[in-house]
């Protein structure tokens, strides 16, 4: 193998599941790697809803990218936001004016919230795709609880949360909010009547959890309703206001917080990078994950769209495409033809609450309840980066779910001036 200093330089843009996976594999192959991300940490997104509801600290689900780079020979990390690509000069353009040259480029920029053009959705809702967004949701929830509990009559006003989207993220968030209402709030805020807190889950389809078997969908629906979630199927949002949500049927409900989990899309800025963008704002790639029309540029993970066989936007496809792209770069370096990517579906899962989840594999195995929930915990612990994070997450989840039921909420900072209805919470 050539010395690292003489190997081609690979730039990886984005340090999510795909970018980290690609960087690790490229390091094993001996390449020089520059990993670029606008944050100095990797975020374990599947557990951000636990951060948003006070179950985990933000540090439990984030991992230093400089430490990651230090542990992999030949990998360097640069904190920057990429603003474009100079295809002719083979350079990545960064927001600080620096141009980073590459021999091969891997785009793993991930996705952002898709508001589908619904008026007010971008201005008056919150999402949970970044650490900062999850903390903002957490501080809004607990800041509002502090205000209600501090009133002379805590029963004089309520708190309504609408979760838009009945996929795994929406179901997990709604279930956790219901659990927070039933268990943590009465102990943390004894002045507050839990009946004043309302959790509404809105889904425009006639079912929740579209990728799952119908029996698991019905089970998840029944469990959410049993936990007190107001689930509204076949319901589409027409407009979001600062203090209410309007539905296409003409109904409106007052709200204090809207959490948007209804859809994702690629960053619109990618359209200026001189690469083909397809459905959902995703980068179009060939079967070997090379960007259409490009020889040395790959796109992986959520942002990648294989034209003939689109992949689900989940952690496993991102991890697998990251490793695969790295191996194809190694093949190109050796002068060997690239291969066709084949996705190995390992199943999907969603948690509903304490001791309750649904799990489905491509081999026909369907689990629900405690067994699925234990599998959910185990899998998430395995894929978190860093031994300390795995241990801390395991301890926090054990404290929250397996020890005697008590208040385990991590409150954190409280918003200085949240507004509740008779104003709504100020989310601008």
Least confident of 13-22, 237-246, 399-408: 399-408
Give 175's pLDDT tier (boundaries 50, 70, 90). very high
Give 424's pLDDT tier (boundaries 50, 70, 90). very low
Give 332's pLDDT tier (boundaries 50, 70, 90). very high
CA distance 158 to 418: 14
CA distance 91 to 19: 18
Q: Are 341 and 287 in contact (CB under 8 A)?
A: yes
Partners of 106 in the beta sheet? 12, 298
CA distance 6 to 138: 48
9-13, strands of its sheet edge to edge? 75-79, 32-37, 9-13, 104-107, 297-299
Determine if the pTM surpasses 0.85. yes
CA distance 349 to 211: 10
Least confident of 107-116, 342-351, 354-363, 390-399: 390-399
CA distance 300 to 303: 6
Which residues, 6 or more positions from 71, have their beta carbon under 8 angstroms from its beta carbon?
Answer: none
CA distance 15 to 38: 9
Q: Is the pLDDT of residue 408 over 60?
A: no
User: How many Cα neighbours within 13 Å face the side chain of 9?
Assistant: 11
pLDDT of amino acid 387: 77
Integer angstrom CA distances of residue 422 from 6, 150, 192, 200, 258: 65, 16, 18, 19, 16
Between 123 and 57, the higher pLDDT residue: 123
Least confident of 37-46, 199-208, 401-410: 401-410
pLDDT of amino acid 426: 38
pLDDT of amino acid 288: 96
pLDDT of amino acid 5: 67
Least confident of 91-100, 203-212, 334-343, 415-424: 415-424
Q: Could you report the per-residue pLDDT of 304-317, keeping only the tens digit for each?
A: 999 778 888 888 89
CA distance 187 to 193: 11
Give 427's pLDDT tier (boundaries 50, 70, 90). very low
Least confident of 78-82, 97-101, 177-181: 177-181
Cβ burial of 387 (10 Å; 0-12, 13-18, 19+) is: exposed
Residue corresponding to tokens 């190995």:
344
Q: With b meaning 16 or more CB within 10 Å and e meaning fewer, what string describes 159-177?
A: bbbbbbbbbbbbbbbbbbb
pLDDT of amino acid 192: 82
Q: Is the pLDDT of residue 129 over 50?
A: yes
For the chain, what percent of residues have pLDDT higher than 70? 90
Least confident of 63-72, 134-143, 372-381: 372-381
For residues 46-74, give the mean pLDDT.
91
pLDDT of amino acid 376: 84
pLDDT of amino acid 428: 35
Between 391 and 211, the higher pLDDT residue: 211
Least confident of 38-47, 113-122, 217-226, 397-406: 397-406
Q: Is the pLDDT of residue 171 over 90?
A: yes
CA distance 19 to 72: 14
Between 184 and 356, the higher pLDDT residue: 356
Between 408 and 355, the higher pLDDT residue: 355
So which residues are the catalytic ones? 172
pLDDT of amino acid 226: 95
Least confident of 138-152, 171-185, 202-216: 138-152
Where is 93: in which H helix or E strand? strand 91-94
Q: What's the helix, strand, coil split of the chain in %, to 5?
A: 35, 25, 40
The per-residue pLDDT of the chain, averaged, comes to 89
User: DSSP 3-state assignment of 104?
Assistant: strand
pLDDT of amino acid 298: 98
For residue 283, give the nearest of 299, 297, 267, 263 by alpha carbon.
299
pLDDT of amino acid 1: 53
User: DSSP 3-state assignment of 69?
Assistant: helix
For residue 425, give the nearest of 177, 231, 258, 193 by alpha carbon.
258
Which parts of 315-355 are beta strand (E)? 348-353
CA distance 354 to 175: 9
User: For residue 183, what is the DSSP state?
Assistant: I
Integer angstrom CA distances of residue 360 from 80, 216, 368, 406: 38, 8, 9, 31
Residue 180, phi then psi, degrees to nearest 5: -60, -45
For residues 18-31, give the mean pLDDT.
97
Q: Is the dihedral of CA 416, 422, 425, 427 positive or negative?
A: negative
């Amino acid at each position: 193998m050539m010395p690292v200093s003489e190997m081609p330089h690979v730039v990886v843009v984005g340090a999510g599941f795909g970018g980290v996976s690609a960087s690790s594999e490229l390091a094993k192959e001996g390449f020089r790697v520059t990993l670029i991300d606008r944050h100095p940490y990797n975020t374990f997104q599947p557990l951000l809803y636990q951060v948003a509801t006070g179950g985990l600290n933000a540090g439990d689900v984030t991992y230093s990218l400089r430490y990651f780079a230090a542990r992999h020979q030949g990998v360097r990390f640069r904190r920057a936001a990429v603003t474009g690509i100079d295809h002719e000069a083979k350079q990545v353009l960064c927001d600080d004016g620096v141009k980073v040259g590459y021999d091969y480029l891997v785009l793993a920029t991930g996705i952002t919230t898709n508001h589908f053009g619904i008026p007010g959705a971008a201005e008056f809702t919150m999402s949970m795709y970044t650490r900062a967004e999850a903390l903002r949701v957490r501080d809004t929830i607990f800041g509002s609880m502090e205000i209600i509990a501090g009133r002379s009559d805590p029963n004089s006003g309520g708190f309504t949360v609408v979760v838009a989207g009945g996929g795994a993220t929406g179901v997990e968030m709604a279930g956790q909010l219901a659990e927070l209402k039933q268990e943590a709030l009465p102990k943390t805020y004894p002045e507050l009547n839990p009946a004043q807190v309302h959790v509404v889950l809105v889904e425009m389809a006639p079912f929740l959890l579209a990728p799952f078997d119908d029996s698991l969908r019905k089970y998840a629906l029944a469990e959410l309703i049993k936990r007190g979630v107001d689930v509204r199927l076949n319901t589409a949002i027409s407009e979001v206001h600062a203090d209410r949500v309007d539905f296409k049927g003409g109904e409106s409900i007052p709200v204090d917080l809207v959490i948007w989990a209804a859809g994702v899309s690629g960053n619109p800025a990618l359209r200026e990078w001189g690469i083909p963008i397809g459905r959902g704002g995703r980068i179009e790639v060939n079967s070997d994950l090379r960007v259409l029309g490009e020889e040395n540029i790959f796109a992986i993970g959520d942002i990648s769209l294989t034209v003939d066989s689109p992949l689900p936007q989940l952690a496993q496809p991102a991890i697998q495409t990251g490793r695969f792209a790295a191996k194809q770069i190694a093949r190109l370096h050796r002068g060997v033809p690239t291969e066709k990517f084949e996705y190995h579906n390992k199943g999907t899962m969603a948690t509903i609450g304490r001791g309750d989840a649904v799990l489905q594999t491509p081999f026909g195995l369907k689990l629900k309840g405690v067994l699925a929930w234990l599998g959910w915990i185990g899998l998430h612990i395995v894929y978190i980066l860093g031994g300390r994070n795995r241990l801390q997450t395991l301890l926090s989840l054990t404290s929250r779910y397996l020890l005697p039921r008590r208040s385990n909420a991590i409150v954190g900072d409280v918003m200085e001036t949240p507004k509740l209805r008779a104003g709504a919470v100020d989310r601008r």
